[in-house]
Structure 1
Amino acid sequence: QWMWKFQHATGQREINELHIPVGSRIKLTMTTEDVIHSLYVPAFRVKADVVPGRYTQLWFEPTKAGRYYLFCTEYCGTNHSGMGGYVEVMEPTAYQQWLSGGGTESAAAQGAKVFQERGCASCHQADRQGRGPMLQGLFGEKQPLQDGTVVTVDETYIRESIVNPQAKVVAGFQPIMPTYQGQLSEEQILQLIAYIRSLGTGTEDGAIGTATGATGSTTTTGGVAPDAQRSNPVGPTTPRGGGEPVNTAPGTTGTRPGGAAQGAGGGTMAQPQRSPQQQ
């Protein structure tokens, strides 16, 4: 069975549902561990591919509370047609109540554990005495490299530095960091990114959450992006496969796709995945 997995920055994890607050700009950072997928929310008029080995991002702003369908629109295997779910757009107060019911560690806290367990702290020290760059206040800043170029420290750069550390070596440091390709899951990498971001940021964006899903993963953060799309949901699109009627937004109805799980919320990171029987 294919699915979308979501994890919020506050730690909540869901499958095939995404809870988000109405009126907030949402950023999805997505990846997949097997084949290409494509996340599509018809009512929001937004769609983006989810590609193995890299992050893709998508911004949108829901303007009307309700329940809306999401789909994978890139043929991805036998159960592609069942890879659907819902976006639950909630009033801010209701969304905060939903978040408070999680009772789980934040993604940053989980990332801090991975950071310690993998020995990252031995090189990346807060006093700048380690063999690697200090990470405090690094996210969002410009980082000079050995080859004379400069990069912005964002999710994509951090992920590349973890799985292919020789690709962009920071000026003043030796290329001694080992690769963690195949040693960390995409979920753990996203948790490490959340932890590094929590150490301080040079940007004004605030993370709402992270999530991982079936064969891809996405993260979402709150904040204002110049190119953010303002979504104005209308009636939901009827999903593939038919099914029983389901309420979506005030005054609208749709159909529930057969076998689709319900879950995940706004400000999350999502990743689609196969079940163990299909791997």
Structure 2
Amino acid sequence: MSVHFKTADVDGLEVFYREAGDPARPVVLLLHGFPSASHMFRDLIPQLADRYHVVAPDLPGFGMTEQPARDRFAYTFENIANVVGRFTEVLCLGKFALYVFDYGAPVGFRLAVKHPEWISAIVTQNGNTYLEGVSDAFAPVQAYWKAPTQANRDALRGFLTPQTTLFQYTHGVADPSLVSPDGRNLDDFYLARPGNDEIQLDLLLDYQSNVALYDTIQAYLRRHQPPVLAMWGKNDPFFIPPGAEAFKRDVPSAEIRFVESGHFALETHAHEIGAAMRAFLARHIG
């Protein structure tokens, strides 16, 4: 199954995306996280594209999507969600299943809250929306929220280094030699672009808006009861297993599964996650 690499003009912003599968089939929208891009789905897309129309955009400021200057585009999760929402309209995707990971979760859940009629199902892979899912690793970020000083901002620059990217990819993985260096090296390339560090620090500051939205997202889940599959790398140092288990509190039918991996679970368990998704999506969207 061929994967096509395209761009779309979204109200003047050039959005890069990967697309595969028959456009007549049900749509699956894949939303990546920090510090990655749609390349993180390179092993997953072929597992879904024979049954579904799969679309995976790069978020503004990430990957191959345009990176407008900060005085032209405010890098907030609300603005990024608005771009992704318009992207789905430009492509006429209509109703779709969401796959959300890391930063993709607050983006995707914002779409679900605003447009519940768009959402056919939700697969969340280490895509958190519960306080109990947030680990102590966020303490330096929370300190910046409480006191957004330059010193606290600069203290977060360590999150943008190659050493941290390597940690994100390999922590909690039983055999790190299974993790290809290609993904993390590409992420480091994107992070090293001029001005991207300030964009990422803006988003770390704005992440507090996602936590503030947790109650609203949980109310959406309780009211609309979308089919939910929470597929978690159980050794994730950032979003811990209680965040996956909490989905059953609001959606009792939610399916909770863990794989023996870390944050970027697709790097080691793409086959297992793909198989679980195929079975889940077949039950709920055909």
What TM-score comes out, normalization by structure 1 length?
A: 0.28
More strand by share: 1
What TM-score comes out, normalization by structure 2 length?
A: 0.27
From the CA coordinates, give the structure whose radius of gyration is larger.
Answer: 1
Greater RCO (Cα-Cα under 8 Å, separation 6 or more): 1
